[in-house]
Amino acid sequence: MKKVVSLITLVIITGAFWFAQFQYPNAYLEKGFYTFLAVTILYFVFKSVIEEIVVRNIKEAKARYSFRKTVSILYIVGIVLALIRIWVEHTQTLLVSYGLIAAGIAIALQDFFKNFAGGIIIFVTGIYRVGDRIELNAKIGDVIDIGILYTTLLELREWVAGDQATGRLTVMPNGVVLAGIVNNYTKDNNFIWDELELPITYDSDWQEAATTIRRIITAETKTMADEAEKEILKLGEKYYLTVRAVEPEIYLTLTDNWITFHIRYITDVRKRRVIRNTLGQLILEELRKSETVKIASATVDIVGFPELRLQQAGKK
């Protein structure tokens, strides 16, 4: 209602200037008429059409705020340009004025244009799509919405000790993709390599432990390994990708305290924590049955206690 009243007021003032200029021809009245005519047209386009129709269809509150702010700035800029065009008669002065205004727009809206350009790049190049799991600007999450200015993620990790959702929604400006690093877990494949670390004592039969662990890992990840092998072949058609082994591998590291097994295997991106939990339980169950394999841990042996002497108060 307020905007309708403002528009009607501008139309009345414009009509009044036109009538005055028609009755009493004057250069200033003519410029005044063109000034209010330009303001009325700009107000109708930016405030009544763009802001009311376009902004209403933007669901994201932050994007709606940014767009409305941009529309307001462009409206003011349009008025300034119109005033300069109507009231400034010298061409050279006009060009200088336009240049200064253009520089001011670039500075005032640099974040908007940066995010807008980032949004276009995301849509055109497909750096990530809705449903992808990405790491962007040190934030990890599943992409649930991509707007022209912002990307919304369902946040993962943070205080959760695994690749599971925290419940928070993270809104990232699209301009981050222009200069930042984007890690996409699911762009052309749905697998990753994961590792488990397991320490065993030096007096354990490490060969038996390695055989047992390899058997368990191979059986549990065979289906995923077969799928990953097919996806790797497809990746090789698109990228320069050398052959990668998808079978489980076990690497040993000798430390001062124990032998560390680094167990490397293929897993589904979205099931990483579940698979890790399943493998850990199966390995523990099997190794507990063995009498020659012991899982190592840091322990402290107390070899003695200091002698304590208690003395009652008042006695020496």
SS (H, E, C) 93-151: HHHHHHHHHHHHHHHHCHHHHHHHHHHHHHHHHCCCCCCCEEEECCEEEEEEEECCCEE
State the residue for tokens 């055109």: 124
Tokens at 128, concatenated: 């990530």
CA distance 185 to 169: 19
Secondary structure letter of residue 57 according to DSSP = G
**pTM of the predicted model over 0.85:** no
- pLDDT band of residue 94 (cuts 50, 70, 90) is low
State the residue for tokens 């190794």: 287
Q: What is the pLDDT of residues 109-135, one digit of tens each?
A: 778 888 888 888 888 888 998 889 999
Q: What is the pLDDT of residues 190-234, one digit of tens each?
A: 899 999 999 999 999 999 999 999 999 999 999 999 898 888 888
Q: What is the pLDDT of residues 144-191, one digit of tens each?
A: 888 878 899 999 988 888 888 999 999 999 999 988 899 999 888 889
